[in-house]
Structure 1
Amino acid sequence: MAADRSPTARLPFADGRPPHLPCGPGDIAADVLVPGDPDRVALLRDMLDDVRDFGRRREFALITGRYRGHPLSICSGGIGGPSTEIALVELAYLGAKRIIRIGGMSALVPEIATGSYLIPDAAIGATGVGALYAGQGFEARADAGLAASLRAAATALGLKAHHGTVASTDSYYLGQDRPLPNGREAAFLDGFARDGAVGVEMEAQVILSVANALGLRAACLLGVHGNRATDDWLTDYEPTQRNLLHVAGRALGGLQD
């Protein structure tokens, strides 16, 4: 593998260790959950057994353990496309095969309430990395089998999980119609809704497009932290975040009970 060579400017791996993730060969499970926030890796640590904590480098925190016996890694990808792409490519070099983005989003329709979940069939939007990998204006599809397993796991746990298209954007403020200090606002969300999106966030399009390009199976499981149609905001989202691991862990492990 190219990553086993001495570091070069073209591919700066040293002894198979990537330049960004705090781990090396043999440290990654085939199944990886990718939240954005490194603090959510610590939040979920006590839900795994036999945990190995590889620490944190920049926005990348990483642990590997077992969820009800199934090997699982959790690696934060940071906010937005560039850091998420770094995490996915380096995870692929280290042997990852299936990726599930776990994170938050805002709903664009009133019927998707805060505290519920979205398992997107596809992601659209306006991310630079997504356009780089798959072309401007594309739709990135989730792996159908993996998405179906997530829906079945959510149902088994009694959790409300919607499906549909999610929009991703590189911008948290202007790109999601939040006012700037000078009073400027935009109107991007209406356009996403017209294109069929029922939610908005910042990484799903990148996760799916990069994973598809790398030959990885990937899907997204999103907790609804906000609803832009009703302006509702979930102030305590820790239970929602913990449920993301329960759903994804069951789906990846093929757990039935």
Structure 2
Amino acid sequence: MRVIPPSELIVNADGSVFHLHLRPEQLARTVILVGDPGRVERVASYFDRRECEARNREFVSVTGSYRGERMTVLSTGIGTDNIDIVVNELDALANIDFASRTEKAGKTALRLVRLGTCGAIQPDLRIGDRILSRISVGFDGLLNFYAGRDAVCDREMERAFVEHTGWSPALAAPYFVRCSDALAGLFADATVEGMTASAPGFYAPQGRRLRLDPADGELNAKIETFRHGRFRFTNFEMEGSALAGLARLMGHEAVTICTVIAQRVALDMETDYRPFVDKMIAMSLEKLAGL
């Protein structure tokens, strides 16, 4: 059994994992992930009971229970690089013995549900709609650093997309990953199924122009017109691809659900989107409590 060195798995003096500041016993099997640290309290306010809280940088967490279901809510901050930290450390908490620094013989499959916001890129999607990312597409390149990436990705869709868009070799190779079938089924009646692009930035990577122009001014139009079977791109966000890919590689169940707060085609934006997000939170907790 391989022993993981202290430089690779960093454990704090109190026995917590390096970035998240959580100890193994403080983690629930069901984990709700939100980007904004301020949204953690909004989720936790629904809990019937709280066990513990942790805070370090943008990583804020509360573990408690809702209607008898133990849950952890954790903020990730923005970007797939942060998801790389979060998912690896959550997996370490669940599946590595910190005392021996070895993998546990019996693995725990976590349920990872990301609740976020997004911009819709199809005209029939409205502000307030909840999009479930049946397929997450990474423009960030993160999963390409991991062995086994091809085994969890849809290579046929990747090739078709690269051909359709004339994808620049200067950009990271895109990857296409499906979410958990079980979690997709759980939320199917309360969401719109979609294919989501995870961009490595908010501005040019999503086709926005302020003072700098995107390298390919037509890329968004190519993305919007891509079709593969029943799938089309529905929205942009910035974390779901890494979550879907890493969860698949590690044997966890994961899904991303995002509330539409910007309609990119209609050039519309709702800045007071809290009521929509609150409805998404309440719906998700009810579904997860019924597992």
TM-score normalised to structure 2 length = 0.78
Report 1:198-217 matches (<5 A): 198-217=234-253
Q: Which residue of 1 aligns with 2:140?
A: 127
Is the aligned partner of 1:149 residue 2:186? Answer: yes
Q: Deviation of residue 216 (structure 1)?
A: 0.3
Q: Which residue of 2 aligns with 1:110?
A: 123
Q: Deviation of residue 62 (structure 1)?
A: 0.4
Most deviating of 227-236 and 239-248: 239-248
Q: Deviation of residue 128 (structure 1)?
A: 2.3
TM-score normalised to structure 1 length = 0.88
Residue identity opposite 1:115 in structure 2: G
Identity across aligned pairs (percent)? Answer: 29
Report 1:22-171 matches (<5 A): 22-95=21-94, 97-133=110-146, 134=149, 136-152=173-189, 154=190, 161-171=191-201
Select 2:224's aligned residue among 172, 176, 193.
193
Q: Deviation of residue 47 (structure 1)?
A: 1.2
Q: Which residue of 1 aligns with 2:99?
A: none
The CA distance in 2 between the partners of 1:10 and 1:148, in whole Å, is 36
Contact kept, 8 Å, 2:141 with 2:175, in 1: the verdict is no
Q: Which residue of 2 aligns with 1:21?
A: 20
Aligned length: 245
The CA distance in 2 between the partners of 1:125 and 1:86, in whole Å, is 16
Q: Secondary structure at the match of 2:223?
A: helix
Q: Secondary structure at the match of 2:249?
A: helix
Q: Secondary structure at the match of 2:114?
A: strand
Contact kept, 8 Å, 1:49 with 1:66, in 2: the verdict is yes
Deviations 1:52-107 (CA, angstroms, capped at 9, x unpaired): 34232111000011122211111111101111111111112222611011100110
Residue identity opposite 2:200 in structure 1: D
The CA distance in 2 between the partners of 1:225 and 1:116, in whole Å, is 8
The CA distance in 1 between the partners of 2:225 and 2:52, in whole Å, is 43
Change in 2 beyond 3 A, CA 1:132/1:194: farther
Residue identity opposite 1:112 in structure 2: L
Deviations 1:24-74 (CA, angstroms, capped at 9, x unpaired): 121011000111111111222211121234232111000011122211111
Q: Which residue of 2 aligns with 1:158?
A: none
The CA distance in 2 between the partners of 1:129 and 1:24, in whole Å, is 26
The CA distance in 2 between the partners of 1:131 and 1:115, in whole Å, is 33
The CA distance in 2 between the partners of 1:107 and 1:166, in whole Å, is 9
Contact kept, 8 Å, 1:81 with 1:128, in 2: the verdict is no
Structure 1 segments, 4+ long, off by >6 Å, are none
Q: Give unpaired runs (5+ residues) of structure 1.
A: 155-160
Q: CA RMSD in A?
A: 2.1
Q: Deviation of residue 192 (structure 1)?
A: 2.3
Deviations 1:182-237 (CA, angstroms, capped at 9, x unpaired): 34244432232233311111111111001111110111111111110111111111
Residue identity opposite 1:217 in structure 2: E
Q: Which residue of 2 aligns with 1:174?
A: 204
Contact kept, 8 Å, 1:37 with 1:78, in 2: the verdict is yes
Deviations 1:111-168 (CA, angstroms, capped at 9, x unpaired): 110011101210113012133342633211011111110123x2xxxxxx21121111
